Amino acid sequence: MDLSLNVNGRPEQFAAQPNELLVERLRDGLGLTGTKVGCDTGQCGTCVVRLDGRSVKSCLILTAAAAGSAVTTIEGVTTPGGELSGLQEALRQEHGTQCGFCTPGMVMALGELVDGTADREAPTEPEIREWLTGNLCRCTGYHSVVRGVQRACSAARADAPAQPATAAASGQEG
């Protein structure tokens, strides 16, 4: 069937099998390999992309079901070699990535959380952890990722001039 998607701001048209998964279209069809496949069962979160702004696991959704939507992948967050987003920069400063295989999925999942914080209360640590439960990381133990999100939320709030800049508790570090 002929389908179309808007991927990272670019319209894409292609023929797809009805059983094709969105992650297959992105990785194999469009060559956007930043999105990873870590499991067969929707458990690991390495394949998370944003679909019309909401983070979804692209291994759990058919391309056909996403047709007509706007997809943002990790490649759509920055330009190649370009400046990091606020969240990516905060994760870099906290060394929130080791092998990096879980990282694109985390950036995409956490992006939704961080984006929403400029105009509301910063998420608490338990909220961040709750948000992260769909993403597995075997390297970091998640602590540095949580610190990165806290840092990113602080920065996002500080950058939003209309809002009082409340420092999120970073709880660390010597």
Partner 1 sequence: MTTVTGETSPQGGGVLGQPLDSREDPQLLRGEATYVGDIDLPGTAHMAILGSSVAHAKILSIDTKAAEQLPGVLKVATAADFTDVMPLPCIWIPGGVESHFPPHPYGLPGSRPVLSGDTVRHVGDPIAVVVAETPRQAAAALAAISVEYEPLTVVTRADEALAEGAPQLHEAVPGNLNAYWTCGDKDRTDAAIAAAEVTVELDLVNQRTINSPIEPRGAVGDYNAATGEYTLYASTQGPHNHRFLLSALVLGIPFNKLRVVAPTVGGSFGTKGYLYPDMPLVLLLSKALGRPVKWVDTRTGLMNSTVQGRDHRQHVTLAGTRDGRITAVRCTSYANLGAYPSTIGPGVATALMGRSISGMYDIDAAFCEVYAAFTNTVSLGAQRGSGRAEAAFLMERLVDRYASEIGMDPAAVRRKNLVPKEKFPYDNGLGWTYDSGDYQLNFDRAIELSGYADMPARKTEARARGKRLGVGIASYVAICGVGPSTRMSKEGMLGGTWESANIRVHPTGEVTVTVGSASTGQSHGTVFAQVAADELGIDPATVQVYEGDTLKAPYGQGTYGSRSYSMAAPAIALTARKIKSKLVKAGAVFLGVPEEKVVYADGQVFEEGNEENTKTFAELAMAMWYGWGLPPEIEPALDETTHFDPPDFNYPFGTHVAVVEIDELTGETEVVAYTAVDDAGNIGNPKIVLGQIEGSILHGLGQALMEHAEYDLDGQLVSRDLNHYALPRAIDAPFFTLDKTVTPSPHNPLGAKGAGEIATVPPAAAVVNAVVDALSDLGVRHIDMPVTPEKVWRRLRGEAQ
Q: What residues make contact with ligand FES under the rule CB under 6 A?
A: 37-39, 42-47, 57, 59, 97-103, 137-140
Which of 128, 129, 118 is CA-nearest to residue 154?
118
From partner 1, ligand FES, none, which one binds at residue 133 (CB under 5 to 8 Å depending on kind)? Answer: partner 1
Dihedral sign (CA 140, 142, 143, 145) = positive
Sheet holding 54-57, edge to edge: 10-15, 2-7, 70-72, 48-51, 54-57
**Using an 8 Å Cβ cutoff, are 55 and 107 in contact?**
no
Nearer to ligand FES, 38 or 158 (CB): 38
**Using an 8 Å Cβ cutoff, are 70 and 79 in contact?**
no
Provide the minimum distance between the beta carbon of 170 and partner 1 in the complex, in angstroms, as a whole number.
9
Which of 88, 60, 89 is CA-nearest to residue 74?
88
From partner 1, ligand FES, none, which one binds at residue 57 (CB under 5 to 8 Å depending on kind)? Answer: ligand FES
User: Pattern 71-110, binding to partner 1, x per CB under 8 A?
Assistant: --xxx-xx-xxx-x---x--xxx-xxxxxxxxxx--x---
> Should residue 163 be labelled a site residue for partner 1 when binding is judged by CB under 8 A?
no
Nearer to ligand FES, 143 or 159 (CB): 143
> Should residue 65 be labelled a site residue for partner 1 when binding is judged by CB under 8 A?
no
